[in-house]
Amino acid sequence: MTLSTILAQIERLDASHPGFSDSILSLRKKLSPDGSVVSARGKELTIQVFGEPLSPGQVVERICNDVRTIGTSAVLRYARALDDPKITAEGLRVPVDRIKAAHDAASPEFLASVRRIRDNIRLFQSGILHRDVSLHPKPGVILEQRYTPLNRVGICVPGGAAAYPSTVLMTAVPAQCAGVKEIAIVAPPTPLGAYNADMLSVCWELGIREVYAVGGAQAVAALAYGIPEIAPVDKIVGPGNLFVALAKRFVFGHVDIDSIAGPSEVVVLADSTTNPKFAASDVLAQAEHSPGASIVISWDASILDAIEASVNEQLRSLERADLTVASLNAFGALILCRDEDQACEVTNLIAPEHLQIATDNARSLLPKIRNSGATFLGHYSPVALGDYAAGPSHVLPTGGTARWASGLSSNHFLRSSSVIEYSAEALRDIAPDVVALADKEGLTAHKQSVVIR
């Protein structure tokens, strides 16, 4: 595709049209883990490895079951077939001296940025961290809620189409703020994954020494079930492709997970004051993930026209323009609403991962928004701030799950438990209530455990 032929054909939708809700729900389903957004290479590899065109769910089930029952040899089989034909059991763990060498070779300017970002994340994540609570509702009664950090977590870092040192910062630092002692990083055995110098240098800077060169569903299964080379973890977090998302769903219950994330999403709420160039740049920033959903909502038709024109103008200078156009054409939309109230309702229906309210009265619209993973207010709060540096994690709910799910934070690495302590006098005071319910349920041993005291 030449620069002269790059042109996005973004779908136009009218929120007042009778079939509008169905169109949005269809888009959301395509981008959810129940969809089938898989690259052409992914489909080819599926046939090569399994000899048949299995669905993503079938692929993940087979990989995870093989890793659980067979172990290292299954991990190596899939790693060799999907990523690196030369990978060995001894090569699964990235040597500590290689991690240190990457840090030694990193530029001082890059490391200075990493440290500033780390400090931003620490400030925010420590500030929102749950603290133990102790209540004394009556004499002789102490009720507590304790928060205990998980001991060991695994972090998935993508490394297929791009390198993501930012993901290490946005997952590991919140875990460290919570007090997690052991952190294991898994990334594909590729130059953009586990062998990426920038990613490794960030690991060293954060004090992480466990990095494994394995990606995809086999990495998730290895973290969940454990193999001799990789000790099992308590929780698995971090982004990835559809296979990683489905694998996390498959192992959930054996271990905890953060979310079942799909492709990246942004909704931009725009009005007549929106700078079309700013809005277009945010649309493109998500679309270049490819796949990524980029949606603009406005009650001003002229601003939708201006943003679309700016998208096509800026496309010409992007390195990943062809992939970005494909993503815009498949998952982009320009939505015209009746007014700002309808625009907010449409936003709540979409429940986007990222919401940018790029209007003059951005904060006044915030109370009308119920569903979004992260919200960016005003003309000078681009989504990239959240992706890289502001402090909240960039691991956020996608595929409409922001209706009920939350973005990753330090609190997701804590396990809560209650503590109940009664004196003899306090037990005598509450005993009749316990006895009454135990009698109703016919649980005489429950009743007796109170009465006997």
| Confidence (pLDDT) at 90 | 95
At 357-408, the pLDDT tens digits run 999 889 999 999 999 999 999 999 999 999 999 999 999 988 888 889 899 9
Q: Does domain 3-32+262-391 have CATH number 3.40.50.300?
A: no
Specify the DSSP class assigned to residue 145: E
What is the widest separation between alpha-carbon atoms in the chain? 86
For residue 80, pLDDT beyond 60: yes
Mean predicted confidence (pLDDT) in 446-452: 96
Instruction: Output the CA–CA distances (angstroms, integers) from residue 128 to 91, 123, 173, 207, 363, in the order listed.
Output: 39, 9, 13, 23, 21
Mean predicted confidence (pLDDT) in 207-215: 97
Sign of the CA dihedral with 338 first, then 339, 342, and 343 last: positive
For residue 4, pLDDT beyond 50: no
- The mean-pLDDT minimum among 14-18, 94-98, 169-173 falls in 14-18
Question: Does 402 or 154 have the greater pLDDT score?
Answer: 154
CB 338 within 8 A of CB 299: yes
| Confidence (pLDDT) at 2 | 43
Rounded CA-CA distance 435/448 in Å is 8
Question: Does 318 or 393 have the greater pLDDT score?
Answer: 393
| Confidence (pLDDT) at 1 | 40
- The mean-pLDDT minimum among 259-268, 271-280, 353-362, 435-444 falls in 259-268
Q: How many CB atoms lie within 10 A of CB 268?
A: 28
CB 113 within 8 A of CB 223: no
At position 253, the amino acid (one-letter code) is: G
pTM of the model: 0.89
| Confidence (pLDDT) at 74 | 96
Mean predicted confidence (pLDDT) in 244-256: 95
| Confidence (pLDDT) at 39 | 65
Assign domain 36-260+404-422 one CATH number from 3.40.50.1100, 3.40.50.880, 3.40.50.1980, 3.90.650.10: 3.40.50.1980
At 399-448, the pLDDT tens digits run 888 889 899 999 999 999 999 999 999 999 999 999 999 999 999 999 99
| Confidence (pLDDT) at 277 | 94
Among candidates 38, 23, 37, 36, which has minimal Cα distance to 334? 23
At 115-130, the pLDDT tens digits run 999 999 999 999 999 9
For residue 7, pLDDT beyond 70: no
- Mean pLDDT (the chain) is 90
What are the residue numbers of the active site?
353-354
Mean predicted confidence (pLDDT) in 265-277: 94
3-state class of 247 per DSSP? helix
Parts of the chain belonging to CATH 3.40.50.1980: 3-32+262-391, 36-260+404-422
pLDDT band at 33 (very low <50, low <70, confident <90, very high): low
- The mean-pLDDT minimum among 168-172, 189-193, 345-349, 399-403 falls in 399-403
Tokens standing for 423? 């004196």
Question: Does 319 or 152 have the greater pLDDT score?
Answer: 152
Is-cis flag, bond preceding 56, omega within 30? no
Among candidates 146, 138, 140, 131, which has minimal Cα distance to 418? 146
Q: Are strands 256-257 and 182-187 parallel, antiparallel or unpaired?
A: unpaired
At position 4, the amino acid (one-letter code) is: S
CB 286 within 8 A of CB 265: yes
Rounded CA-CA distance 340/344 in Å is 6
